[in-house]
Amino acid sequence: MNRYKSSEKTRQALINAAGELAAEHGINAVTTRAIANLAGENLGSIHYHFGSKEKLFEAVILHVAERWQSLPIKDIVAKVDDDPSRAELAQMVSHVVKRNVALIFDRSAPAWHCRFSINWFSGLRRCWILFALLFWFLK
């Protein structure tokens, strides 16, 4: 049991270190050596626990996404009728935006979650284009 706890602590330390560095510098600028150093682990622990840098960052994204999955957008959208009015659409968009802001700035999450989420979503221009189209439609 102690071995498992130690292994899980190492995994979490690596995820947190990778997330912190990616939030600060961007995923592409982060080296495995910097992750291992910040986590206080040896370089081989990344390969042992994740197999590669890419798999580690998949774990980082999944770690952040777990919180987002706790409040799925589909639950908000499901409350809207099949033929919603503009007011209903505006309310739905408002709920989605408030949900996203609450999740991004959630103080119970590690500080790097906020920066990582903002960086991640700023790279997803499709989301912002969708919101722009929705707001244009609601005019």
Q: Which two tokens stand for residue 96?
A: 């989605």
What is the per-residue pLDDT across 10-59, written as a single tens digit (0 to 9) for each?
A: 999 999 999 999 999 988 899 999 999 999 999 999 999 999 999 999 99
Task: State the pTM of this model.
Answer: 0.70
Which pLDDT score, from 0 to 100, does residue 59 have?
Answer: 94
When divided into structural domains, the chain yields a total of 1
**For residue 5, pLDDT beyond 80:** no
CATH number of the domain encompassing residue 83 = 1.10.357
Render pLDDT for 53-95 as a digit per residue (tens, 0 to 9): 999 999 998 898 888 777 777 777 777 777 888 888 888 888 8
Helix ranges (DSSP H) in 2-138 = 2-25, 32-39, 44-50, 53-69, 73-77, 86-104, 111-122, 125-138
Domain housing 25? 2-138
